[in-house]
């Protein structure tokens, strides 16, 4: 059995369920542990009543990890989330006594191919990490780290556990949402893994953690309907940056990376994911009262001309402009 862990709050609960569904679709035995940062997410996970999906309540987690609980007041919400990554992996090792390997996954991943093929790339390495593989015009992004915290896998051996413990200690010391002295959140530390520890493997397969910052659309093809990149099958795609900017209209998050939404990328990669995401969001609204957030950013509340203009611009001007330019994907809920 493969053992995974992730975390999210209700804002990412639908994406987490899409990740889980994509793992199930591969028909390989697994268990996904979810650290639930709010009660709504915990209710969602428990309502699934699926043995391959396990909830960890925040109260339970903080009680078991007092070092992590102690940094809560000194970190922003997103920084507190980032700090959790290695703490969660170690915690899940303690919960899964039989697991010889524990792998952290970002909640916005989606698998198009079997997990076993990804582990085959990792081989017998104690630690597996995924490089960003930034496109050439994104060289400035490298300050955020060579590697991406999307898939980080540890074996239960001396090298794997030693690396995990070092990462955990560093994140508890410093984990902030800024670049500082070569560090960035929980991510910059991954650059040190190959330098400090043995048997660390960089998974350089172009279909492992394909993402907006590395998808060369000119090299995207399809074999039997499945996406291939650089003549290799896409094992999982990182749907980072997706925003539903108006009901049923999604910005795929490609614009910051200056990647064009080609018809092939839209039809073969984004639409399959967004159809599932839209359906799951509708289900969470009906069953759990979780409303998806709309727009590009948190909008100001209250009256006043400025607040009203900001809401109008984000809710109508920018979505309309980008719809006209063909930069959005229309994927309404099935019953809409």
Per-residue pLDDT at 336: 44
> Any bridge partners for residue 129, and if so which?
152, 202
Q: Which residue has the tokens 């039809």?
A: 267
Per-residue pLDDT at 327: 75
271 vs 105: CA distance, rounded Å: 22
262 vs 90: CA distance, rounded Å: 41
126 vs 156: CA distance, rounded Å: 8
**Burial class of residue 110, CB neighbours in 10 A (0-12, 13-18, 19+):** buried
User: What residues contact residue 233 under an 8 Å CB cut-off, 6+ apart?
Assistant: 112, 113, 117, 207, 223, 226, 227
100 vs 160: CA distance, rounded Å: 10
Rounded mean pLDDT for each run of 10 residues along the chain, 336 residues in total: 97 97 97 98 97 98 98 96 98 96 98 97 97 95 94 98 98 95 94 97 97 95 94 97 89 93 95 96 94 66 62 63 73 69
Per-residue pLDDT at 318: 62
254 vs 251: CA distance, rounded Å: 8
Domain boundaries, the chain: 2-240, 243-336
- pTM score above 0.95: no
Per-residue pLDDT at 311: 62
Per-residue pLDDT at 301: 53
Q: Where are the extended beta strands (E) located within 163-287? A: 179-180, 183-184, 200-202, 208-210, 220-223, 226-229, 232-233, 236-238, 243-246, 249-251
Per-residue pLDDT at 157: 97
Where is 330: in which H helix or E strand? strand 329-330
Between strands 53-57 and 30-36, the pairing is parallel
Per-residue pLDDT at 107: 98
Tell me which CATH code domain 2-240 carries. Answer: 3.90.550.10
Per-residue pLDDT at 332: 84
């Amino acid at each position: 059995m493969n053992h995974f862990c992730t975390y999210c709050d209700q804002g990412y609960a639908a994406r987490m369920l899409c990740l889980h569904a994509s793992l199930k679709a591969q028909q390989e035995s697994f268990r996904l542990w979810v650290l639930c940062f709010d009660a709504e997410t915990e209710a969602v996970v428990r309502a699934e009543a699926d043995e391959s999906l396990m909830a960890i309540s925040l109260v339970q987690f903080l009680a078991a990890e007092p070092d992590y609980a102690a940094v809560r007041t000194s970190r922003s919400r997103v920084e507190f989330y980032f700090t959790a990554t290695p703490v969660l992996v170690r915690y899940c090792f303690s919960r899964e006594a039989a697991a010889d390997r524990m792998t952290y996954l970002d909640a916005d991943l989606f698998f198009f191919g079997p997990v076993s093929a990804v582990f085959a790339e990792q081989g017998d390495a104690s630690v597996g990490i995924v490089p960003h593989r930034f496109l050439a015009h994104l060289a400035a992004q490298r300050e955020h780290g060579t590697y991406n915290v999307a898939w980080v896998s540890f074996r239960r051996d001396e090298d794997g556990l030693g690396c995990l413990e070092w990462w955990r200690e560093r994140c508890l010391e410093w984990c902030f949402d800024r670049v500082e002295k070569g560090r960035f959140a929980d991510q910059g530390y991954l650059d040190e893994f190959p330098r400090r520890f043995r048997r660390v493997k960089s998974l350089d397969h172009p279909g492992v953690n394909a993402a907006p910052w590395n998808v060369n659309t000119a090299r995207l093809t399809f074999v039997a309907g499945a996406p291939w990149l650089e003549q290799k099958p896409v094992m999982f795609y990182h749907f980072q940056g997706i925003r539903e900017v108006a009901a049923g209209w999604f910005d795929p998050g490609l614009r910051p990376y200056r990647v064009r939404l080609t018809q092939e990328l839209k039809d073969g990669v984004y639409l399959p994911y967004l159809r599932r995401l839209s359906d799951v969001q509708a289900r969470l609204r009906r069953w759990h009262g979780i409303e998806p957030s709309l727009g590009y950013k948190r909008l100001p509340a209250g009256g006043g001309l400025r607040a009203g203009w900001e809401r109008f611009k984000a809710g109508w001007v920018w979505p309309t402009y980008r719809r006209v330019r063909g930069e959005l994907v229309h994927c309404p809920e099935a019953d809409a």
